[in-house]
Amino acid sequence: MSTVTESVDVHVPVRTAYNQWTQFESFPHFMKGVESVRQIDDTHSHWVVDVAGAKREFDTEITEQHPDERIAWKSTSGETEHAGVVTFHRLGESDTRVTVQLDWKPEGFVENVGSAIGADSRQVKADAQRFKEFMEERGAETGAWRGEVDIPEKRD
């Protein structure tokens, strides 16, 4: 597994940054390589991505979500294995630190080399910067879902 962690400070209130991050179908506006995200229900979505010529489709499930704090997910099917969490930290009335942690399993030669030379980290950093620009230019979210998703209890 490869792990990438990147943070960006966004000049919007934490509620605004969080609300926008719940609008997965808007991700192609600021995530390079994301062709589309289709929201299936409150916790499931279908993604189509094309990164460096490697086109992938996969489904994800939100595994934990707490408004204005965090959204965690994992892939459930498809051509890529990954999981991640985005956390939102209030820095002030109008400033938020957004931290993205992504764990993924590179497939094939190109993805393994890209991960080894830090291309994945640079991509996440650039996407975080584009999220910042998207939010600061708009000043408001395009929508919101403020539902709670608790971590399932472990069973013995």
The structural domains of the chain, with segments of one domain joined by +, span 2-138
End-to-end Cα, the chain, rounded Å: 27
Q: How distant, in Å, are the alpha carbons of 54, 101, 137 from that of 126?
A: 19, 14, 16
Per-residue pLDDT for 88 more than 80? yes
Alpha helices of the chain — where are they, by DSSP H? 14-21, 108-116, 119-138
Provide CB contacts within 8 A for 29, sequence distance 6+.
Answer: 134
> What tokens does 129 get?
């910067």
Quick one: CATH architecture of 2-138?
2-Layer Sandwich (3.30)
Residues 143-156: pLDDT tens digits?
A: 888 889 988 766 55
Is 54 in contact with 39 (CB distance < 8 Å)? no
Residues 32-83: pLDDT tens digits?
A: 989 999 999 999 999 998 877 778 899 999 999 999 999 999 999 877 788 9
Residue 155, pLDDT score: 57
Is 47 in contact with 62 (CB distance < 8 Å)? no
